[in-house]
Chain A
Amino acid sequence: MKRKTVVGILVLVLALFSLTTGVAFGEPLRVILVTDIGGLGDKGFNDGGWLGVQMAEEQLGVTGNVIQSFQQTDFIPNLTTAARQADVVVALGFLMADAISEVAARFPNVKFILVDSVAEELPNLASYEIRAGQGAYLAGIVAAAVTETGRVGMVEPMSIPPVIAFTAGYGAGVKTWNELTGSNVELVVKDAGAFNDPARGKALALSMIGQNVDIMMSGANTGLGVFQAVKEKNDEEGITLEAVAAGTKPKYFGVGVDLDQDDIYPGMMLTSALKNVPEVILGAIKSIQDGTFTGGHHAVGIQEDATGITDLRHTRHLVPDEAMAVVEKAVELMRAGNKDLEIPLAVENAEKFIQDFKVPEELRFVLQ
């Protein structure tokens, strides 16, 4: 009888120990990233994910590892193996959404992080979507301040609500600049109909330039065609990359999306509206370490350092200081949780959104 109690207590103690994670003993969290088929070296989300895990290794002392998937049938085996060996499993993109939901349901003691997509509601699975429209808003202010023709453009790779949200934020930024300065910059929008069609992007960009547009935002592979058109048109004007590096102002600009694309054509890319995947992952891992992790769907924006624009390292001298002051104030308002500047994750109709958008009163004082 007594022995049974002792055994019982031992079991209880062991059970309690196993409930608390390894962190309690000072053992580092084990984090494994499972990439989709793109794998490392895609200069996109997968690389961003790995950077986030590496940042967590440095700053939070976790141990990180990566499994790269070869084919879609690998997703579930890879996630399962990761879940068996790690405390935290990280994945990116909508391709992984179903697979991570399925695996997370089987491993309630492991935490799962999915970035840039929505997964099922589970207590151990957190999905993060990035309000990139906020970054696009800031880019819109900068573009409207720099344009000389008074027309800025957006080539939507595909007109679906998450992409239209970029247009909406961008247009709201243009509207803000117009109202603050009394200028009349117009936004021209075109739909390329495919994420992976640089030729179509280029054709649309050339036709936009024909319509007197001088700054064009675009994204994905299609965007690369848009930026190529920008460079070629500048070249035609005798403004080469060397000339730009020597101080000539380009006639046409591109605005990048998702990643820092400023270095594609240095000086000809005005800025980029970012999705800061590494920061989102770092934040999520941190929340697991300090016990504030919650499962379910999260929308993250500038408040969480999840979006923004680049440091304008090649183009800062072209942007009026007034515009930078407005951008700074807008970032401040977004950080404070201003509701008007909380650009939604998905927008159905950009035109209507921009029409209904109210420029925050606080911004009006910046230029006075």
Chain B
Amino acid sequence: MKITSGLGSALIAVCIGIGISLILALLTGASPLLTLKALWVGSLGTPDSLAVTINNAVPLILTGMAVLVAFRAGLFNIGGEGQMYMGALGAVLVGLYVDLPPVLEVPLLIAGGALFGALLAGLAGLLRAYTGAHEVISTIMMNYIAQYFVNYMVTKGPLNKGSYSAQTHPINPSARLPVLWNNPVSPVTISVIIALASVLFIHWFLTRTKQGFVLNTVGLNPRMATYAGTNIKGYWISGMMLAGAFAGMAGAVMVGGVFHKLVANFSTGAGFTGIAVALLAKNQPLGLIPAALLFGGLNSANLELQLSAGVPKDVVLIIQAVVILSVAVQAVISERLEKREAAGIDRVGSQ
């Protein structure tokens, strides 16, 4: 009941955001009607755009998860981008150098990505636990280290395929993620299942397991957790590793499902968008799905907005930001209202 009403008000916020966007489109000389149509056709309205939306959303669910899990342990993981790059590196190493039947190789590719992402994030957790280095700083810096290390590996490093192109050789066919829906524009692979399973797993983990409960406690009140005898350093490190594993998997599904190789600068900010996705989802695992679909759909609509509605790229970006902003504002306002309501009830109760 609560979730549906949350969704309802989020939808209203999306509508308000779109309304403002239409005015913006009108001001820049585009037709609001065509803009509206392009938003719909370009995100969900045709099978092709639906496929692109889904494929945009999958890595965002996973990088959103990387922020969410760390946040539950009381840590800000700004390093999703770097962890995703390392994950892509781990995955491409499996894809290039391991030759097994797909049943074994595909899980190994995903695991390779998860491992590399987890190791990088774990390092930030380790630094936080034992040196006090703040994870915001260390994860931001590690983004650069990871991205440029991976870029080096594929441009001048040992993974470069030669012929001046900044990429690796293609991975073995057996390492490609199996395709569920062979859409000609953007084939949808089992990465969707991986993302959804991750969401369900973390939802279960955080609400139904002892470790999940302790992780939440560490995040909400580290002093109490220490008092209760929890090894909070251990939870910081393992929490970051779990978070990094999801970002790493985002990189792995890009390599195994989209590019089938590793390309320099393959991501332009999916790791950072994950932060916004997690915030929009109010750090609830199930909320990641609609939040990521919103971002993915707006990204997908960019094509139609440019082609059919004649909205230039910069205005497309503004429209995206306006829609997301209005959803975020709605989230904060409704939270305030809830608190005020709760406070009111308390007062009534005490009389």
Q: List chain A positions with a Cβ less than 8 A from chain B.
A: 32, 37, 39-40, 65-68, 70-74, 76-78, 80-81, 85, 94-95, 97-98, 106, 160-162
What is the minimal beta-carbon distance from B113 to any residue of chain A, in angstroms?
Answer: 16
Q: Would B185 and A72 count as touching, CB distance under 8 A?
A: no
- Within 8 Å CB of B263, what residues of A? 72, 95
Q: How far, in angstroms, from A65 to B311 measured CA to CA in the complex? A: 12
Q: Would A81 and B303 count as touching, CB distance under 8 A?
A: yes
- Within 8 Å CB of B307, what residues of A? 32, 65, 67, 81, 85
Q: Can you name 5 extra interface pairs (CB under 8 A) apart from A40-B312, A73-B56?
A: A68-B306, A76-B186, A81-B307, A94-B164, A97-B165
Q: How far, in angstroms, from A67 to B266 measured CA to CA in the complex? A: 19
What is the minimal beta-carbon distance from A98 to any residue of chain B, in angstroms?
Answer: 8
What is the minimal beta-carbon distance from B321 to any residue of chain A, in angstroms?
Answer: 13
- Within 8 Å CB of B167, what residues of A? 98
Which residue in chain A gives the minimum CB-CB distance to B186?
A77
- Residues of chain B at interface, number, CB under 8 A: 29
- Within 8 Å CB of A72, what residues of B? 259, 263, 265-268
Contact of B299 among A32, A39, A71 (CB under 8 A): A71
Which residue in chain B gives the minimum CB-CB distance to A193?
B156
- Within 8 Å CB of A68, what residues of B? 302, 306, 313
- Within 8 Å CB of A65, what residues of B? 307
Q: How far, in angstroms, from A72 to B312 measured CA to CA in the complex? A: 19
Closest 8 A-B residue pairs measured CB to CB? Answer: A68-B313, A80-B185, A77-B185, A71-B268, A77-B52, A160-B164, A77-B186, A67-B306
26 contacts between A and B (CB under 8 A): A37-B265, A39-B313, A40-B313, A66-B306, A67-B306, A68-B302, A68-B306, A68-B313, A71-B267, A72-B265, A72-B266, A72-B268, A73-B56, A73-B258, A74-B302, A77-B48, A77-B186, A77-B300, A80-B184, A81-B48, A81-B303, A81-B307, A94-B166, A95-B263, A160-B164, A162-B164
Interface centre among A37, A39, A76 (most CB of B within 10 A): A76
Q: Would A94 and B306 count as touching, CB distance under 8 A?
A: no
- Within 8 Å of chain A (Cβ to Cβ): is B139? no
What is the minimal beta-carbon distance from B105 to any residue of chain A, in angstroms?
Answer: 22
Contact of B185 among A32, A70, A76 (CB under 8 A): A76
- Within 8 Å of chain A (Cβ to Cβ): is B55? yes
- Within 8 Å CB of A160, what residues of B? 164
- Within 8 Å CB of A67, what residues of B? 303, 306-307
As a 0/1 sequence over residues 249 to 281 of chain B, the CB contacts with chain A under 8 angstroms (1 = contact) are: 000001000110001011111100000000000
Contact of A94 among B56, B165, B184 (CB under 8 A): B165
Q: How far, in angstroms, from A70 to B320 measured CA to CA in the complex? A: 12
Q: How far, in angstroms, from A39 to B270 measured CA to CA in the complex? A: 18
- Within 8 Å CB of A66, what residues of B? 306
Q: Would A106 and B266 count as touching, CB distance under 8 A?
A: no
Q: How far, in angstroms, from A39 to B306 measured CA to CA in the complex? A: 12
Q: How far, in angstroms, from A161 to B299 measured CA to CA in the complex? A: 37
What is the minimal beta-carbon distance from B217 to any residue of chain A, in angstroms?
Answer: 38
Q: Would B184 and A70 count as touching, CB distance under 8 A?
A: no
Q: Determine the main DSSP class of A at the interface with B.
A: helix
Q: How far, in angstroms, from A68 to B266 measured CA to CA in the complex? A: 16
What is the minimal beta-carbon distance from B31 to any residue of chain A, in angstroms?
Answer: 16
Q: How far, in angstroms, from A66 to B307 measured CA to CA in the complex? A: 7
- Within 8 Å CB of A39, what residues of B? 313
- Within 8 Å CB of B52, what residues of A? 77
- Within 8 Å CB of A78, what residues of B? 303
- Within 8 Å CB of B313, what residues of A? 39-40, 68, 70
What is the minimal beta-carbon distance from B308 to any residue of chain A, in angstroms?
Answer: 9
As a 0/1 sequence over residues 132 to 151 of chain B, the CB contacts with chain A under 8 angstroms (1 = contact) are: 00000000000000000000
Q: Would A81 and B55 count as touching, CB distance under 8 A?
A: no
- Within 8 Å CB of B254, what residues of A? 73
- Within 8 Å CB of B303, what residues of A? 67, 74, 77-78, 81
As a 0/1 sequence over residues 175 to 193 of chain B, the CB contacts with chain A under 8 angstroms (1 = contact) are: 0000000001110000000
Q: How far, in angstroms, from A94 to B165 measured CA to CA in the complex? A: 7
Which residue in chain A gives the minimum CB-CB distance to B165?
A94
Which residue in chain A gives the minimum CB-CB distance to B320?
A70
Q: How far, in angstroms, from A76 to B55 measured CA to CA in the complex? A: 12
Given A68-B313, A70-B268, A77-B48, are A106 and B184 also a contact pair (CB < 8 Å)?
Answer: yes
Q: How far, in angstroms, from A72 to B299 measured CA to CA in the complex? A: 12
Which residue in chain A gives the minimum CB-CB distance to B49?
A77
Q: How far, in angstroms, from A77 to B303 measured CA to CA in the complex? A: 9
What is the minimal beta-carbon distance from A92 to any residue of chain B, in angstroms?
Answer: 15
- Within 8 Å CB of A37, what residues of B? 265, 268
What is the minimal beta-carbon distance from B140 to any residue of chain A, in angstroms?
Answer: 20
- Within 8 Å CB of A106, what residues of B? 184
Interface centre among B258, B303, B306 (most CB of A within 10 A): B303
Q: How far, in angstroms, from A162 to B163 measured CA to CA in the complex? A: 10
Interface centre among B48, B263, B267, B307 (most CB of A within 10 A): B307
Q: Would B302 and A70 count as touching, CB distance under 8 A?
A: yes
Q: How far, in angstroms, from A76 to B257 measured CA to CA in the complex? A: 13
Interface centre among A40, A65, A78 (most CB of B within 10 A): A78
- Within 8 Å CB of B306, what residues of A? 66-68
- Within 8 Å CB of B164, what residues of A? 94, 160-162
Q: How far, in angstroms, from A274 to B279 measured CA to CA in the complex? A: 48
Which residue in chain A gives the minimum CB-CB distance to B299?
A70
Q: How far, in angstroms, from A37 to B269 measured CA to CA in the complex? A: 12
Which residue in chain B gives the minimum CB-CB distance to A35?
B313
Which residue in chain B gives the minimum CB-CB distance to A160?
B164
What is the minimal beta-carbon distance from B256 to any residue of chain A, in angstroms?
Answer: 13
Q: How far, in angstroms, from A95 to B307 measured CA to CA in the complex? A: 22
Q: How far, in angstroms, from A80 to B270 measured CA to CA in the complex? A: 23
Which residue in chain A gives the minimum CB-CB distance to B52?
A77
- Within 8 Å CB of B270, what residues of A? 71
- Within 8 Å CB of A98, what residues of B? 167
- Within 8 Å CB of B266, what residues of A? 72
Which residue in chain A gives the minimum CB-CB distance to B269?
A71
Q: How far, in angstroms, from A95 to B186 measured CA to CA in the complex? A: 18
What is the minimal beta-carbon distance from B318 to any residue of chain A, in angstroms?
Answer: 13
What is the minimal beta-carbon distance from B147 to any residue of chain A, in angstroms?
Answer: 13
